[in-house]
């Protein structure tokens, strides 16, 4: 244990000695409880039981369950089983996904998923491949197939400084989404960059790898040109940061 310049204790971890064990022996061995596990492993029945226990909340809020991750479509069989069971229980089901999976893995979910939440990180194929790590075309193809199949799709546009925040990027988003106005596109959320990830990198001992150390939260106003262009293209349900009342969605008083 060391002390930082401002007098606060700093916990140093020698990660080179981490064996990557699944039972997290370091947590049990820590005498002060300074280490803790985040999350837990559950079997299928335990997951469903936990979800069902919140049924009164879903009923009162009009909400439901979003299957997320990572990307749940990396585990298509398990995700399908969960979605089926939740629909049997009459619980609203959403899936948050990159939509990079093969269509054969997505199509069986259509009867059981009420909403697909899909990120489009860039519409520049080269930039997308270099930064995200996989091709753009399968994602756009799957989005189109979902909409043509009548699925509810809500698009997330995470806007990152220096990556996809230029007028050219905004115009590309508008032109792509314009073609789906006639389909059942549930809405678009323009998501401005925030700094929440920095503390996670620091906690994992990877702060040196964090590429946005001196970048501040992106003001919501930076996304107004994008929102206005999407509205002009005919997309009605738009938010900034997912907050109703900001962007295109207005709360009625």
pLDDT, tens digit, 9 for 90 and up, residues 150-163: 999 999 999 999 99
H helices of 93-166, where?
Answer: 103-106, 125-132, 137-148
Kindly give the parts of the chain with pLDDT less than 50: 245, 250-253
pLDDT of residue 252: 39
Q: Which domains does the chain have, with CATH numbers?
A: 41-247 (3.20.20.70)
- Distances in whole angstroms, Cα of residue 179 to Cα of each of 34, 41, 182, 192, 252: 52, 42, 8, 24, 28
CA distance 181 to 167: 21
pLDDT of residue 253: 35
CA distance 35 to 133: 32
pLDDT of residue 160: 95
pLDDT of residue 251: 39
pLDDT of residue 8: 63
Residue 133 makes CB contacts below 8 A (sequence gap 6+) with none
pLDDT of residue 6: 58
CA distance 70 to 133: 15
| Residue recorded with tokens 């790898």 | 209
pLDDT of residue 116: 97
pLDDT of residue 141: 97
Residue 249 makes CB contacts below 8 A (sequence gap 6+) with 187, 237, 238, 239
């Amino acid at each position: 244990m060391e002390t930082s310049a401002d007098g606060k204790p700093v916990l140093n971890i020698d990660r080179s000695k981490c064996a990557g064990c699944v039972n997290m022996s370091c947590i049990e061995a820590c005498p002060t409880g300074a280490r803790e596990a985040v999350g837990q492993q559950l079997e299928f029945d335990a997951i469903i039981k936990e979800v069902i226990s919140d049924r009164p909340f879903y009923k009162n809020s009009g909400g439901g369950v979003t299957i997320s991750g990572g990307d749940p479509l990396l585990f298509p069989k398990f995700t399908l089983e969960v979605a089926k069971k939740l629909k049997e229980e009459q619980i609203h089901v959403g899936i948050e996904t990159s939509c990079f999976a093969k269509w054969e893995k997505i199509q069986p979910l259509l009867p059981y998923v009420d909403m697909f939440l899909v990120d489009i990180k860039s519409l520049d194929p080269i930039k997308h491949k270099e930064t995200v790590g996989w091709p753009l075309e399968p994602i756009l193809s799957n989005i189109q197939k979902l909409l043509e199949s009548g699925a509810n799709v809500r698009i997330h546009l995470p806007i990152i400084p220096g990556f996809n925040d230029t007028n050219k990027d905004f115009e590309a988003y508008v032109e792509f989404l314009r073609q789906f106005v006639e389909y059942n596109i549930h809405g678009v959320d323009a998501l401005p960059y925030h700094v929440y990830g920095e503390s996670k990198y620091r906690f994992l001992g990877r702060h040196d790898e964090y590429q946005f150390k001196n970048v501040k939260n992106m003001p919501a106003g930076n996304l107004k040109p994008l929102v206005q262009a999407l509205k002009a293209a005919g997309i009605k349900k738009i938010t900034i940061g997912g907050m109703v009342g900001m962007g295109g969605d207005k709360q009625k008083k």
